[in-house]
């Protein structure tokens, strides 16, 4: 078992540096830089919507429009209609699955009017 000496007042400096959304890695505050997105695309060709999740929306849209996705190849070109940002992949995937449900599709229709 290790014991660490604590000098009064020395621990408050790093705690004061932490701002909203920061986490501590070791002894250094780390600002999360990774964001996850849920997006809704619309096909000009078919009039259909596609919902997905990713880390980089611009790159993902480029890949959809380049025909790299079997699920969206038929609807090129795709336009980004809506996106939401999340701090974790789990939150983004949970939202994506909801938007792909019946109630979620209804919500997309309301959002996009």
57 vs 10, residue with greater confidence: 57
pTM: 0.71
Give, for 103, the enclosing helix (H) or strand (E).
helix 102-112
Q: Read off the pLDDT of residues 27-62 as tens digits, 9 standing for 90 and up.
A: 665 555 689 999 999 999 999 999 999 999 999 999
Can you read off the two tokens belonging to residue 109?
Answer: 């229709």
pLDDT for position 48:
95
pLDDT for position 34:
83
CA distances from 51 to 11, 18, 48, 56, 82 (A): 46, 35, 10, 14, 9
Query: Where is average pLDDT lowest: 16-20, 21-25, 98-102?
Result: 16-20
């Amino acid at each position: 078992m290790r014991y660490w000496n604590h000098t009064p007042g020395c621990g408050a400096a790093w705690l004061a540096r932490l701002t909203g959304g920061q986490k501590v890695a070791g002894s250094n505050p780390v600002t999360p830089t990774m964001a996850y997105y849920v997006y809704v695309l619309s096909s000009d060709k078919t009039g259909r919507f596609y919902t997905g999740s990713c880390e980089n929306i611009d790159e993902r849209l480029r890949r959809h429009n380049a025909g790299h996705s079997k699920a969206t190849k038929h609807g090129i070109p795709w336009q980004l209609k809506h996106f939401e940002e999340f701090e974790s992949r789990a939150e983004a995937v949970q939202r994506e699955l909801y938007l792909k449900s019946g109630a979620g599709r209804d919500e997309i229709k309301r959002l996009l009017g």
